[in-house]
C-alpha cells in the first residue's frame, strides 16, 4: 500500500492518521470546528507536525464526513429542488415527496412535474417521451429560480436513455443547472430511488461547498495528492463524484470504524464494539466488511434503499452520566462537554470516564478529583456498563460458536475482558482513531442492479458483473485488483418468461495514477 | 383470538394494516407499502372507509373483490396511475348492469392487503371485513369463493394506459391462465375486479374478519416493537400461533420455474434450537417447513412467516439473505382450507411437494 492520510470529521473530534504498507505511521485527534476548512487544516497541520514534512508527499487523502447526513437530519444547508417524474400515464397516484416528513418536504420542495415517458419491465418505452412537456417544465424551473433537479423515469436502471434525454433537454433549456438522474443511484423501486435522487439533488450546494473546503484545507498545508471521500460501504470515491452524489457518503462513519478495526486487528470476521463519547456501536464484520441491515433504511425520516451497516447502538460511552442513589448508568451523556463536565477534568458530573479512571482502566485528567468515590459505587457502575455491552453483543451475534471481538473507540477501556460468547477481546493500538484508519484504507467499489430479460442466470450475472466492474473503473479503481464481494440473482415472480434481477458489487484498489481531482 | 373489530379505516390505521398485511403475506405477495400510501392519499381526500360485517349486508347487494395482478417487482417501479381501480370496477359494473354496494379484499396478504382499501376510498364505497385467502397465495383460483362455487368471471382488468378487458372463462383455473398472459401485455401488472357476488353468496363463501385480523397483527407488532420486545411471543399467544424455530439463514437457493420464484432456504438454529436446522420451501410464499431429516413442521395452507429476530418485522422470500437472524413462525390456516376441496386447491401436492397435509398443531404437538 502506498502512503495515505485518512481523516474522520466527527461531531466532536476530527481524527487524522497516516497509513502505509507497514501500518499506522502517525495519528492525532483535534477538535472539529464550525468552519470546515480550518478544522481539517488544523488536524492536517498537527499530523504533519507529529510525523514531519514528508507527510505532505502522501499519495492520497481520504475524508469521511457526517456533514451530509446531518444536513438531512437537521434540515439545514439543503437547497430547493424540482422533481421530474417521467412515468405517465403510470405512477400518477403517488406524487414525489409523498411520504416525506412534512418539515423536510417543505424545505426542499421546489415543484414537481409529471412527464409522459419511461420504460416497461423489459426496457421498452411505455409511451414516447413527451419532449414538449420536458421543455415546458424546464422553462418553469428556470423561471422559478431552482438550480437543482432530480429526474426519475420508471425502470431507468434497465435503460437510462429516457432519463439521459430529459437531462439533455433540461441542461439545454437551463444552462448551469445541476441534474441528478435516478439511474445513477441504481436499484429497482421507484419511490425509494426517487427519494434518494431528490435527497441527493438537495445536497448539491452543501456537497460543493464541503468538498471545496476540504480541498482548500489540503492546499493550505501543501498537500497536492488527490482527495477521496468515503462512502457508506467502506469504499471511497473521488471528490468529483462525491460532489455529484453526496447521498453515497451518508453512513461512512460507522463503516469506517469497523473497517479500521479489521485492519488494526488483522481479523476479517469478528464483532466490533466501538465505544465513543455518547454511544457504543456494536456491529459484525463479515469478510472484512460490515454486515448490512435487513430493513429499509430511513434517512431523516425518508425511505431509501441504501445499504447501511447492521448496528445496535446503546447509550454507553466515555461521557455517559452516572447517577448515585439509586445507581443509574446513561443513556444521557455530557457529549462534547466531557472535557469540562467530567469530575476528573474538574467538572461536577460523574461520568463513565471517571468510573474508568477510578477503576484504573484509563489514565486521564486529575485522579485526585475522584479520590472520594466509594469503591462500591464505581465497581457497580462499571458492572452495569459491562452488562449492557454484553447483552447487546449477544443480540448482534449470529454464530452460536464463540467469536472474537475487536474493541475500538476512545472509550474502548470500558469494554470488559470476559464476555459470554466472545472468545477473545482484541485490544489494538490506535483504537481511538479506528474510523480515520478505516477511511485511509478504503478501496473503490462499483455496483450493478438490473433486470435482464431472456438471459440465462449465468449470462445475467456475467452482464451485471461487467457493468459493476465498469462502474468501479469509472470511479477510479484499478481493473486488475477488482474483487467480487457480493453477487446474487432474484428471479422476477409472477411473469412468464425469464426476467432475472441481478445484483453485483465489486471493490478494487485505487488505480495507481488516478485522475487529478 | 383477541382481535378487535375494525369499524372504519382511518389514515392512522393504515400502518398497522400494512404491517399485518405483510405478515399474512407469508413471504410473498409484494410489499403493502404502495397500497398503504395510495389508501392514505385517498382517505385524506374522501374520508375514512367504512368497514362492513358481511352479516349486515343485504342478500341481493353486489360485492366486488379487487386486487392487483402481476409481478410485485414491476409494481415497485410502475406505481398505479390511480384510475385503473375505477376503470376495472366500472367496467365490471357496466357489464353486469348493476352498481356495487361494497368492495372486497381478494387477498389479505402482501400488496393486495392494502390495494382494495385504496380502491374503496377512491370509489367511496365501503369495504367488507374479510378476504378470499386469509393469507397470500399465488393464483386467482386459490380463494374460498372457488370452494363456494362462485365464478371468478365475469372479470375486469384495467391498466394505466386506459385499456380495460372483460374475461369469461369456463372455470376459475382458466381465468388465472388467461389473465396472467394479459398482465404481461399490460406491462407486467394490472388492476382486477372479479368474483362479483351477492351478499348471500358472500355470507357463505368468504373468510370473515380478515381486515380486523391484519389490523390487530400490525398493532401487536408495532406495540411490542415500541416496548423493545420481539412480537413473536404475543403473536403466538394471541393468534394461537407457534414459534417453530429460531436461527440464522445459512443458505438460500432460488430458481425461476413457470414465472414463479421457487427455492428453499436453510436456517441454522440459535439459542434453544442450536445444533439443528430447518429447511423452508417457497414458491413466492413459504409453503413447507421441515427438519433436516425431512420431518414436516408446517405445511401449506397453514401459514409460515419469517420474522426478523430482533424486530419481529416480516421478511419476504425476495429479501432473505445469508446471515439474517430470523424466527420461523407458524399459524393455523382458516379451517375451510383444511377441507378436501381446500387441500386440492392449495395443499402441498398442488405445489408439487410429496407431503400429505397435516395441521400444524398436530405436527408440533407437545408429547
**A160: domain CATH number?**
3.40.50
* Element spanning A289, H or E: strand A289-290
At B82, the pLDDT band (50, 70, 90 cuts) reads confident
**CB atoms A91 and B72 under 8 Å:** no
| Stretch A357-361: mean pLDDT | 93
- Are A241 and A173 within one domain? no
- Are A286 and A379 within one domain? yes
**A237: domain CATH number?**
3.30.420.40
- Are A193 and A226 within one domain? no
- Are A179 and A89 within one domain? yes
**A346: domain CATH number?**
3.30.420
Instruction: Indicate whether A303 belongs to any domain.
Output: yes
SS3 per-residue string spanning A150-219: EEEECCCCCCCHHHHHHHHHHHHHCCCCEEEEHHHHCCCCHHHHHHHHHHHHHCHHHHHHHHHHHHHHHH
Q: How far is A118 from chain B (nearest CA, A)?
A: 10
pLDDT (0 to 100) of residue A452: 82
pLDDT digits (tens, 9 = 90+) for A154-210: 988 877 889 999 999 999 999 999 999 998 886 778 999 999 999 999 999 999 999
Nearest-CB residue to B325 (from A190, A398, A498)? A398
Question: Which of A493, A495, A501 has the highest number of chain B CBs within 10 A, making it the mutation to test binding with B?
Answer: A493
Domains and CATH numbers, chain B: 8-210 (3.40.1610.10), 229-363 (2.40.390.10)
Nearest-CB residue to B274 (from A191, A400, A457)? A400
| Stretch B223-234: mean pLDDT | 86
At A515, the pLDDT band (50, 70, 90 cuts) reads very low
**CB atoms B161 and A89 under 8 Å:** yes
- Are A374 and A467 within one domain? no
pLDDT (0 to 100) of residue A514: 44
Q: Is B8 exposed, middle or buried (0-12, 13-18, 19+ CB in 10 A)?
A: middle
At B41, the pLDDT band (50, 70, 90 cuts) reads very high
Nearest-CB residue to A490 (from B81, B118, B254)? B254
Most confident listed range (A292-296, A301-305, B337-341): B337-341
- Are A272 and A404 within one domain? yes
Do A100 and A107 form a contact (C-beta atoms < 8 A)? Answer: no
Instruction: Indicate whether A133 belongs to any domain.
Output: yes
Do A325 and A344 form a contact (C-beta atoms < 8 A)? Answer: no
CB atoms within 10 A of CB B87: 21
pLDDT (0 to 100) of residue B259: 60
Tell me which chain A residues have a C-beta less than 8 angstroms from the C-beta of B76: 188-190
| Stretch A49-72: mean pLDDT | 89
Instruction: Indicate whether A515 belongs to any domain.
Output: no
Q: Which residues of A touch B (CB under 8 A)?
A: 87-94, 98-99, 120-121, 126-127, 154-155, 188-191, 286, 291, 294-295, 312, 395, 398-400, 451, 457, 488-501
- Are A305 and A423 within one domain? yes
Domain end residue (candidates: A250, A285, A319) = A250
pLDDT digits (tens, 9 = 90+) for B288-320: 999 999 999 999 999 999 998 877 889 988 778
Question: CB of B79 within 8 Å of any CB in chain A?
Answer: yes
* Contacts with A224 (C-beta within 8 Å, 6 or more apart), sequence order: A218
In this predicted structure, the answer to whether residue B221 has a pLDDT above a threshold of 50 is: yes
pLDDT (0 to 100) of residue A86: 96
pLDDT (0 to 100) of residue A497: 60
Instruction: Indicate whether A258 belongs to any domain.
Output: no
How many independent structural domains does chain A possess?
4
- Are A285 and A400 within one domain? yes
- Are A313 and A357 within one domain? yes
Q: Is A223 exposed, middle or buried (0-12, 13-18, 19+ CB in 10 A)?
A: buried
Q: How far is A233 from chain B (nearest CA, A)?
A: 17
- Are A111 and A142 within one domain? yes
pLDDT (0 to 100) of residue A397: 73
Per the prediction, chain B carries an average pLDDT of: 92
Per the prediction, chain A carries an average pLDDT of: 88
pLDDT digits (tens, 9 = 90+) for B243-292: 999 998 888 887 766 666 678 999 998 888 888 999 999 988 999 999 99
In this predicted structure, the answer to whether residue A220 has a pLDDT above a threshold of 60 is: yes
Instruction: Indicate whether A125 belongs to any domain.
Output: yes
| Closest among B362, B353, B329 to B281, alpha carbons compared | B353
| Stretch A91-107: mean pLDDT | 93
Instruction: Indicate whether A121 belongs to any domain.
Output: yes
Domain end residue (candidates: A427, A462, A493) = A427
Tell me which chain A residues have a C-beta less than 8 angstroms from the C-beta of B69: 494
Q: How far is B60 from chain A (nearest CA, A)?
A: 33
Residue-number span of the structural domain to which A114 is assigned: 80-199
Instruction: Indicate whether A34 belongs to any domain.
Output: yes
At B76, the pLDDT band (50, 70, 90 cuts) reads confident
- Are A311 and A396 within one domain? yes
- Are A294 and A418 within one domain? yes
Q: Give me the DSSP letters along B101-120.
A: SEEEES--SGGGGTHHHHHH
Q: To the nearest whole percent, how much of chain A has pLDDT over 90? A: 52
pLDDT (0 to 100) of residue A45: 95
Instruction: Indicate whether A516 belongs to any domain.
Output: no
Nearest-CB residue to B160 (from A89, A488, A496)? A89
ipTM for the predicted complex comes to 0.85
pLDDT digits (tens, 9 = 90+) for A113-146: 999 999 887 778 888 999 999 999 999 999 999 9
Amino acid at each position: 500500500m502506498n502512503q495515505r492520510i485518512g481523516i474522520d470529521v466527527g461531531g466532536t473530534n476530527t481524527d487524522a492518521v497516516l497509513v502505509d504498507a507497514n501500518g499506522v505511521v502517525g495519528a492525532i485527534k483535534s477538535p472539529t470546528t464550525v468552519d470546515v476548512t480550518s478544522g481539517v487544516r488544523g488536524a492536517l497541520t498537527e499530523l504533519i507536525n507529529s510525523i514531519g514534512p514528508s507527510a505532505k508527499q502522501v499519495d492520497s487523502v481520504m475524508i469521511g464526513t457526517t456533514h451530509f447526513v446531518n444536513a438531512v437530519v437537521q434540515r439545514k444547508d439543503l437547497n430547493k429542488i424540482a422533481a421530474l417524474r417521467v412515468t405517465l400515464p403510470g405512477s400518477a397516484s403517488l406524487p414525489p415527496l409523498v411520504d416525506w416528513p412534512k418539515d423536510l418536504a417543505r424545505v426542499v420542495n421546489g415543484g414537481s412535474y409529471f412527464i409522459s415517458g419511461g420504460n416497461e419491465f423489459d426496457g421498452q418505452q411505455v409511451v414516447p417521451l413527451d419532449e414538449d412537456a420536458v421543455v415546458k417544465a424546464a422553462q418553469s424551473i428556470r423561471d422559478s429560480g431552482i438550480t437543482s433537479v432530480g429526474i426519475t423515469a420508471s425502470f431507468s436502471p434497465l435503460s437510462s436513455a429516457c432519463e439521459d434525454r430529459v437531462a439533455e433537454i433540461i441542461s439545454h433549456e437551463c444552462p448551469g443547472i445541476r441534474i441528478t438522474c435516478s439511474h445513477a443511484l441504481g436499484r429497482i423501486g421507484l419511490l425509494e430511488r426517487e427519494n434518494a435522487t431528490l435527497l441527493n439533488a438537495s445536497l448539491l450546494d452543501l456537497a460543493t461547498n464541503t468538498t471545496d473546503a476540504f480541498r482548500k484545507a489540503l492546499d493550505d498545508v501543501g498537500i497536492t495528492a488527490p482527495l477521496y471521500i468515503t462512502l457508506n460501504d467502506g469504499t471511497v470515491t473521488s471528490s468529483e463524484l462525491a460532489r455529484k452524489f453526496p447521498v453515497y457518503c451518508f453512513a461512512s462513519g460507522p463503516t469506517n470504524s469497523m473497517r479500521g478495526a479489521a485492519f488494526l486487528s488483522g481479523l476479517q470476521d469478528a464483532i466490533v464494539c466501538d465505544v465513543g463519547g455518547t454511544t457504543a456501536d456494536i456491529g459484525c464484520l463479515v469478510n472484512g466488511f460490515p454486515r448490512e441491515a435487513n430493513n429499509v433504511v430511513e434517512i431523516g425520516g425518508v425511505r431509501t434503499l441504501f445499504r447501511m451497516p447492521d448496528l445496535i447502538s446503546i447509550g454507553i460511552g466515555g461521557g455517559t452520566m452516572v447517577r448515585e442513589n439509586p445507581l443509574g448508568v446513561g443513556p444521557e451523556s455530557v457529549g462534547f462537554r466531557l472535557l469540562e463536565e467530567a469530575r476528573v477534568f474538574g467538572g461536577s458530573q460523574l461520568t463513565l470516564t471517571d468510573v474508568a479512571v477510578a477503576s484504573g482502566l484509563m489514565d486521564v485528567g486529575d485522579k485526585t478529583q475522584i479520590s472520594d468515590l466509594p469503591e462500591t459505587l464505581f465497581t457497580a457502575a462499571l458492572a452495569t456498563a459491562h452488562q449492557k455491552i454484553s447483552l447487546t453483543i449477544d443480540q448482534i451475534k449470529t454464530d452460536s460458536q464463540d467469536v472474537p471481538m475487536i474493541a475500538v473507540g476512545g472509550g474502548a477501556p470500558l469494554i470488559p475482558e470476559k464476555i459470554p460468547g466472545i472468545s477473545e477481546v482484541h485490544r489494538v493500538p490506535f483504537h481511538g482513531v479506528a474510523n480515520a484508519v478505516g477511511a485511509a484504507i478504503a478501496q473503490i467499489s462499483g455496483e450493478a442492479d438490473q433486470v435482464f430479460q431472456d438471459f440465462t442466470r449465468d449470462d445475467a450475472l456475467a452482464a451485471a458483473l461487467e457493468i459493476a466492474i465498469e462502474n468501479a473503473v469509472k470511479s477510479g479503481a484499478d481493473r486488475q485488483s477488482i474483487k467480487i464481494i457480493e453477487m446474487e440473482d432474484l428471479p422476477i415472480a409472477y411473469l412468464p418468461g425469464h426476467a432475472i434481477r441481478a445484483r453485483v458489487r465489486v471493490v478494487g484498489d485505487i488505480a495507481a495514477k488516478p485522475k487529478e481531482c | 383470538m383477541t382481535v378487535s373489530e375494525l369499524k372504519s379505516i382511518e389514515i392512522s390505521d393504515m400502518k398497522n394494516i400494512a404491517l399485518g398485511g405483510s405478515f399474512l403475506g407469508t413471504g410473498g405477495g409484494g410489499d403493502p407499502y404502495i397500497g398503504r400510501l395510495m389508501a392514505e392519499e385517498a382517505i385524506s381526500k374522501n374520508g375514512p372507509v367504512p368497514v362492513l360485517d358481511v352479516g349486515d349486508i343485504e342478500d341481493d347487494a353486489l360485492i366486488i373483490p379487487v386486487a392487483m395482478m402481476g409481478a410485485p417487482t414491476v409494481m415497485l417501479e410502475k406505481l398505479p396511475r390511480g384510475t385503473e381501480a375505477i376503470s376495472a370496477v366500472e367496467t365490471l359494473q357496466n357489464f353486469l348492469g348493476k352498481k356495487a354496494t361494497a368492495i372486497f379484499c381478494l387477498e389479505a396478504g402482501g400488496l393486495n392487503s392494502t390495494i382494495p382499501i385504496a380502491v374503496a376510498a377512491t370509489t367511496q364505497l365501503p369495504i367488507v371485513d374479510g378476504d378470499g385467502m386469509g393469507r397470500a397465495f399465488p393464483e386467482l383460483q386459490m380463494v374460498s369463493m372457488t370452494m363456494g362455487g362462485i365464478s371468478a368471471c365475469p372479470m375486469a382488468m384495467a391498466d394505466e394506459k386506459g385499456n380495460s378487458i372483460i374475461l369469461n372463462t369456463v372455470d376459475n383455473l382458466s381465468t388465472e391462465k388467461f389473465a396472467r398472459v394479459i398482465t404481461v401485455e399490460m406491462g407486467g401488472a394490472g388492476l382486477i375486479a372479479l368474483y362479483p357476488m351477492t351478499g348471500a353468496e358472500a355470507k357463505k363463501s368468504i373468510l370473515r374478519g380478515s381486515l380486523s385480523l391484519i389490523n390487530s397483527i400490525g398493532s401487536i407488532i408495532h406495540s411490542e416493537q415500541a416496548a423493545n420486545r420481539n412480537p413473536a411471543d404475543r403473536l403466538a399467544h394471541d393468534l394461537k400461533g407457534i414459534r417453530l424455530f429460531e436461527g440464522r439463514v445459512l443458505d438460500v437457493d432460488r430458481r425461476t420455474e413457470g414465472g414463479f420464484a421457487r427455492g428453499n432456504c436453510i436456517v441454522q438454529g440459535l439459542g434453544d434450537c442450536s445444533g439443528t436446522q430447518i429447511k423452508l420451501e417457497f414458491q413466492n410464499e413459504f409453503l413447507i417447513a421441515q427438519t433436516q431429516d425431512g420431518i414436516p413442521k408446517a405445511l401449506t395452507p397453514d401459514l409460515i412467516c419469517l420474522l426478523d429476530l430482533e424486530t419481529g418485522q416480516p421478511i419476504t422470500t425476495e429479501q432473505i439473505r445469508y446471515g439474517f437472524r430470523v424466527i420461523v413462525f407458524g399459524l393455523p390456516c382458516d379451517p375451510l382450507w383444511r377441507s378436501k376441496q381446500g387441500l386440492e386447491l392449495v395443499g402441498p401436492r398442488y405445489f408439487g411437494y410429496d407431503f400429505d397435509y397435516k395441521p400444524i398443531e398436530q405436527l408440533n404437538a407437545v408429547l
